[in-house]
Amino acid sequence: MSRHSSLEFREDIRKMPYRTAQIRLVASHPEVYEPCDDSFLLVDALLSDQANLLHHQPRVCVEVGCGSGYVITSLALILGKQESGGVYYMATDINPHAVSVARETLNAHGIDADLVITDVASGLDKRLEKLVDVMVVNPPYVPTPEEEVGCDGITASWAGGEDGRSVIDKILPVADKLLSDRGWLYMVTLTANNPSEICLQMRRKGYASRIVLQRSTEDGQGSMIGSLLSQFPRFPFLTHGDSKKN
């Protein structure tokens, strides 16, 4: 294929109405976590909740720990063009290689987003406080020795410390601070992370919760759970969703 033909092909790809990010267009790097079962679970959870998301009409969407950019790109494609106007997208990652790869992935799909190299959302508090309508997180949830948490390279993308909760417990108060009064948090957890306790912890702060999607893992560690934590400030103990409630 000639360079000219290749450019034309790439432009045609960008114009195609995909529902999620296309794997063949997702960039990669040896030190960046590639889309895997947990990434697909999170995106499938967003797809299954698409009607609610479209009705929600979010104006600000943030991914914490974007990795390859597969999830934030998919979220943008799922939301499409909103009748109420444009959606502002931001993604963060502590790994500078991940931010570079995510930028390539977003560009390949024609999605505009701000990308920030930071730990969770450090330094963004004042800019985003109470403004985020949708936050998506595929956190480091694998139980590991504590010394692996936050280390350099790709290990940081899965190392969650004892019970896999070290990073999750760091993200939750940040989410509470950044989410708007109608903010939603979509997050992947493992059964070893005690997701019921996570939901109870957030319930005390005024969030209802439900399991959007759940799948068994192949490594015998239990189930991966795609949870939705929704804020209901006026009715702090209200729950919603299907029969799978926490």
Check pLDDT > 60 for residue 10: no
Token readout for 144 is 């590991």
Give the relative orientation of helices 3-15 and 96-108 as an angle to the nearest 10 degrees.
Answer: 80
Task: Quick: pLDDT tens for 161-179.
Answer: 999 999 999 999 999 999 9
Identity of residue 143: P
> Mean pLDDT over all residues of the chain?
85
C-alpha closest to that of 226 among 241, 211, 245: 211
DSSP 214-228: EEE-SSSS-EEEEEE
Tell me the domain boundaries of the chain: 3-231
Looking at residue 34, the DSSP 8-state letter turns out to be P
| Superfamily of domain 3-231, CATH level 4 | Vaccinia Virus protein VP39 (3.40.50.150)
- CA 32 – CA 129 distance, rounded (Å): 28
State the burial class of residue 23 (Cβ atoms within 10 Å of its Cβ: 0-12, 13-18, 19+).
exposed
- CA 115 – CA 70 distance, rounded (Å): 13
Facing residues of 225 across strands? 189, 214
Mean pLDDT check: name the lowest of 29-43, 94-108, 176-190, 212-226. Answer: 212-226
Which band of pLDDT confidence, cut at 50, 70 and 90, is reported for residue 241?
A: very low
pLDDT of residue 54: 93
Within 13 Å of residue 121, how many CA atoms lie on the same side as its CB? 29
pLDDT of residue 236: 32
Task: Quick: pLDDT tens for 141-153.
Answer: 999 999 999 888 8
pLDDT of residue 16: 44
- CA 224 – CA 142 distance, rounded (Å): 11
pLDDT of residue 218: 67
Global confidence as pTM: 0.85
- CA 160 – CA 22 distance, rounded (Å): 28
CA distances from 102 to 8, 123, 125, 240 (A): 22, 20, 22, 33
